[in-house]
Structure 1
Amino acid sequence: MQVEYKSKAANGVLTVPAGQSRQCVPLADQYTLIPRGCHRVEPSEITVKMDTADVPSISFVATAHAAVLKIFSPEPATDVVLQLNFDGQPEENVPLKPVQDESGYVYEHTVYLAEGEVATASAKSSQLLFTPRGPQRLVGEAECR
């Protein structure tokens, strides 16, 4: 994971490994730390006062991981909708727009799933046929994919 740090004196990005680690930043009275990457993290931002004798300990916990869903098509369509069902929640309909690439068109959407969380996804369009036709089951993993 990367952590962006901001202060009046310095800004930058640290690459932080999973687990405990020790990171160094330029001297400043206070930093705002913002985790970046493919995870949903708690807290989403934290402000740390550095003007104490003890160096503060900070923890970020990944609560969900990205799963990128892609649909490939040789032709563009203007009515592609991704239907998402998450356990116990109303169906979510996400309109997708085609992006041209070297082999045709790609429709892309990112969902965030906690480890073990289950969702289903299916694509609908009056202009395209999809394989497989039915809903696809998604299971949250410990890493982004």
Structure 2
Amino acid sequence: MTGALRINPELIDWAQRAGYALTPQDQSGAALFWSDPGGETRLLIRTSDNGATLTSADRGQAEVFVLSSPQLEVIEDYLWDFFGSDVRAKLDLPWLKVPSTIDQLAAEFTIERRADGFVYLMGRERTSLAQARNGAVGVIVACQGDGTT
């Protein structure tokens, strides 16, 4: 990667409301969201020719794969939802009811399990939107964020 990722400025503001700060480019070249203060939780975004990958790590722990997508925007959508949970909790708002089963997916989306161990969320024209290792629910949850409170 050459230079820092261009993260949506509104997402950066949203992360700050949730108690996270952004280091646009850490020593490894990743964009790093970290819980502020302390950095107990870290979310790292790396890009390649194949798209973007999100990993997470808690203090003293190794990074764990969360989600990858050909589109950085899908990773950002996940982060809108991730940070939104903390924002909603700080505002004492109720939890949102979101799709969590294949039957609840909108008609234009499908879930595809592949031999590589990943589960893919497929969009219109059978384009791969995201992949996750946590089964169908993991990929649904990973892609449900829309930044609303």
- Give the TM-score band, short-chain normalised: under 0.3
Comparing both structures, which one devotes a greater share of its residues to strand? Answer: 1
Larger Rg belongs to: 1
Q: TM-score, normalised by structure 1?
A: 0.22
Q: TM-score, normalised by structure 2?
A: 0.22
